[in-house]
Chains A and B, each alone.
Chain A
Amino acid sequence: MTSDRDLDEPLPIQSGPGAGMRVARVVLPLLVGAVSLFLWDLVVRVNEIPHYILPGPLLVLNTLISDWHTLYPSLLVTLQITFMALSVATAGGVFLAILFTQSRWLELTFFPYAVILQVTPIISIAPLILIYVDNTYVALLICAWIVAFFPILSNTTLGLNSADHNLINLFQLYGASRWQTLWCLRLPSAMPYFLGGLKIAGGLSLIGAIVAEFAAGTAGAETGLAYRILEAGYRLNIPRMFAALILISGTGIVIFLLFSMLAHLVLRKWHESAVKREN
């Protein structure tokens, strides 16, 4: 073929929205946060609300620092349960999704049960799990796993099934094995869906861990953040309840950001969701 190319030029990919937009994305939410904190403080001061009903933001911060020695080990316990559950859910979800796409029969047989597992509220099964599983830690892990598992399974299954049909034909044409089609075509196609599922499952596994801990109550041998909230509640230590709550929300935000970043790193070269374009 001749060396000169088509008359239409390759499309330039822009690096992202303008600098003003980027600054606004950080500054605007911070501004709202600052104003809310100020109003909160003002309401507490003006009405002279006692700290065992509603502590001011400064007191919560002080408690977070002064009680760090109690809260930090609990944070680690909650984090451990969350990430263990997420890892097992990810491995299991992806493995089952691959099995489902390899055998339609398996999918037909077992998918409904995955759905049942998903739609049953975890708070209602948690007490049963705590009764039947002796080890509280394992019981908490199971609860967190149940909620994190489904988004991974359903998203990955959807992704594996949404490989371009012409590409599947092409693979067939070149005599690709099942394994090659899975590895070179279906898994990469599923990547954006899987990463979306992971983002949801990350938050859910934290919620699962917290909910299960609440269900375990003070009977739990492990002392995660939810246990600290319960404990502080019994003692009317409201500032510490707030401090633990902040740690839980912070953990959720960090998990979300972590997986958003991961998705961006993996997909930025090729997927529509990660490549920004000026229009």
Chain B
Amino acid sequence: MPTPLIELQNVDKVFSNGTVALKRLSLAVGAHEFVSLLGPSGCGKSTALRLIAGLGSVSAGRIDWAGRSGPATDRDIGFVFQEPTLMPWATVFKNVYLPLRLARRGKSEVADRVMDAIAKVGLSGFENAYPRELSGGMKMRVSIARALVTEPKVLLMDEPFAALDEITRFKLNNDLLELWQDQSWTVIFVTHSVYESVYLSNRIVVMAARPGRVVANLDVMAPYPRDENYRTSEPYNQHCRTVSSRLHEAMGQ
């Protein structure tokens, strides 16, 4: 791998109450990778993601972006939370427009970009709907549209589909993969689902808890595009077995 896009070197994170969330976490993510952080609850995977986003500071170690130190600029990253995290008082359009509004871009100037992002997640026609009129899956699509409206290089996703039903989750998995291939993003995807991580990513970073650390780095060699046939294929099952056993080892330690 050439110079990684994001590199965490021996990162420690200790919370003010003394909890050691991360201990000497090292992780390198190259451009255009789809990396899943997989682990049990409490292993610090969400904490690692938030540190990468610049939400909070490391207690020790460093996070480099494309070889230079320090946090990313605003436009480099899009962040998708576990909940849709929409403003309930604002329409779909205004929610997606938010990052550009905060960057002081005029509404008329960027209206096309906003509409384009809404179209990309398949919500054209819902621009004037309020979040409470939407289903859980549609809210999550709005959240994704908001993350991609700034055309970020890196998309950070914190268990974005964990609260959705399986059918909706599968659909969003496929749509996310399509977008990833179109947009040549780098994606860091936090999940606790072995199956989801094997389906989506080309690399899985298995983490263990107390303290949070990396225990395995597994490549998923299956080619893209991946579709529903892949979910039932033998290589998929094989990968799931491997990842599961590594996860169990990690939890047994």
A interface list, Cβ under 8 A from B:
1-11, 13, 164, 166-167, 169-176, 180, 184-185, 188, 191, 269-272, 275
The 5 closest A-B pairs by CB, nearest first: A6-B137, A1-B175, A8-B135, A166-B85, A175-B74
Residues of B near A175 (CB, < 8 A) are 74, 102-103
Residues of B near A3 (CB, < 8 A) are 122, 124
Counted as pairs of residues, one from A and one from B, with CB atoms less than 8 Å apart, the total is 100
Known: A174-B102, A191-B89. A4 touches B122 (CB 8 A): yes
Known: A167-B85, A173-B77, A174-B102. A6 touches B135 (CB 8 A): yes
Q: How far is the CA of A164 from the CA of B165 in the complex (A)?
A: 24
Known: A1-B178, A184-B98. A13 touches B55 (CB 8 A): no
Residues of B near A270 (CB, < 8 A) are 88-89, 130-132
Digitize B102-124: 1 where CB-to-A-CB distance is under 8 Å, 0 elsewhere: 11000000000000000011111
Chosen A-B contacts, 9 in total, with CB atoms closer than 8 Å, are: A1-B141, A5-B122, A6-B135, A166-B85, A167-B87, A175-B74, A185-B87, A271-B88, A271-B89
Residues of A near B175 (CB, < 8 A) are 1-2
Task: State the Cβ distance, A241 to closest chain B Cβ, in Å.
Answer: 46
Kindly state whether residue B219 has any CB partner on chain A within 8 Å.
no
Known: A173-B54, A173-B79, A176-B102. A10 touches B134 (CB 8 A): yes
Kindly state whether residue B133 has any CB partner on chain A within 8 Å.
yes
Task: State the Cβ distance, B86 to closest chain A Cβ, in Å.
Answer: 8
Task: State the Cβ distance, B139 to closest chain A Cβ, in Å.
Answer: 10
Kindly state whether residue B33 has any CB partner on chain A within 8 Å.
no
Classify the secondary structure of A's interface with B: loop
B85 near A170: Cβ-Cβ < 8 Å:
yes
Task: State the Cβ distance, A175 to closest chain B Cβ, in Å.
Answer: 4
B120 near A6: Cβ-Cβ < 8 Å:
no
Q: How far is the CA of A131 from the CA of B88 in the complex (A)?
A: 50
CB under 8 Å from chain A, chain B span 64-98: 74, 77, 79, 81, 83, 85, 87-90, 98
Kindly state whether residue B171 has any CB partner on chain A within 8 Å.
yes
Task: State the Cβ distance, A102 to closest chain B Cβ, in Å.
Answer: 18
CB under 8 Å from chain A, chain B span 121-152: 121-124, 126, 129-138, 141, 150
Most buried by A among B53, B87, B121: B87
Which residue of chain A is the closest to B123 with respect to CB atoms?
Answer: A5
Q: How far is the CA of A215 from the CA of B133 in the complex (A)?
A: 52
Which residue of chain A is the closest to B174 with respect to CB atoms?
Answer: A2
Residues of B near A2 (CB, < 8 A) are 122, 174-175, 178
Q: How far is the CA of A11 from the CA of B137 in the complex (A)?
A: 12
Task: State the Cβ distance, B124 to closest chain A Cβ, in Å.
Answer: 8
Residues of B near A188 (CB, < 8 A) are 87, 89-90
Residues of B near A6 (CB, < 8 A) are 135, 137-138, 141, 168, 171-172
Q: How far is the CA of A14 from the CA of B132 in the complex (A)?
A: 12
Kindly state whether residue B179 has any CB partner on chain A within 8 Å.
yes
Q: How far is the CA of A188 from the CA of B132 in the complex (A)?
A: 16
Task: State the Cβ distance, A268 to closest chain B Cβ, in Å.
Answer: 10
Residues of B near A170 (CB, < 8 A) are 79, 81, 85, 98
Task: State the Cβ distance, B165 to closest chain A Cβ, in Å.
Answer: 7
Residues of A near B171 (CB, < 8 A) are 6-7
Q: How far is the CA of A176 from the CA of B135 in the complex (A)?
A: 28
Kindly state whether residue B1 has any CB partner on chain A within 8 Å.
no
B99 near A174: Cβ-Cβ < 8 Å:
yes
Kindly state whether residue B226 has any CB partner on chain A within 8 Å.
no
Q: A13-B132, A164-B85, A167-B87 are in contact. List 13 more A-B contacts (CB 8 A).
A: A2-B175, A5-B122, A6-B141, A8-B138, A10-B126, A10-B138, A11-B133, A173-B53, A173-B77, A184-B98, A184-B101, A188-B90, A270-B88
Task: State the Cβ distance, B73 to closest chain A Cβ, in Å.
Answer: 8
Task: State the Cβ distance, A99 to closest chain B Cβ, in Å.
Answer: 23
A169 near B55: Cβ-Cβ < 8 Å:
yes
Known: A2-B122, A175-B102, A269-B130. A7 touches B89 (CB 8 A): no
A166 near B87: Cβ-Cβ < 8 Å:
no
Q: How far is the CA of A5 from the CA of B133 in the complex (A)?
A: 15
Residues of B near A172 (CB, < 8 A) are 55
Partner of B102, one of A10, A13, A180: A180
Partner of A13, one of B124, B131, B133: B133
Which residue of chain B is the closest to A163 with respect to CB atoms?
Answer: B87
B83 near A166: Cβ-Cβ < 8 Å:
yes
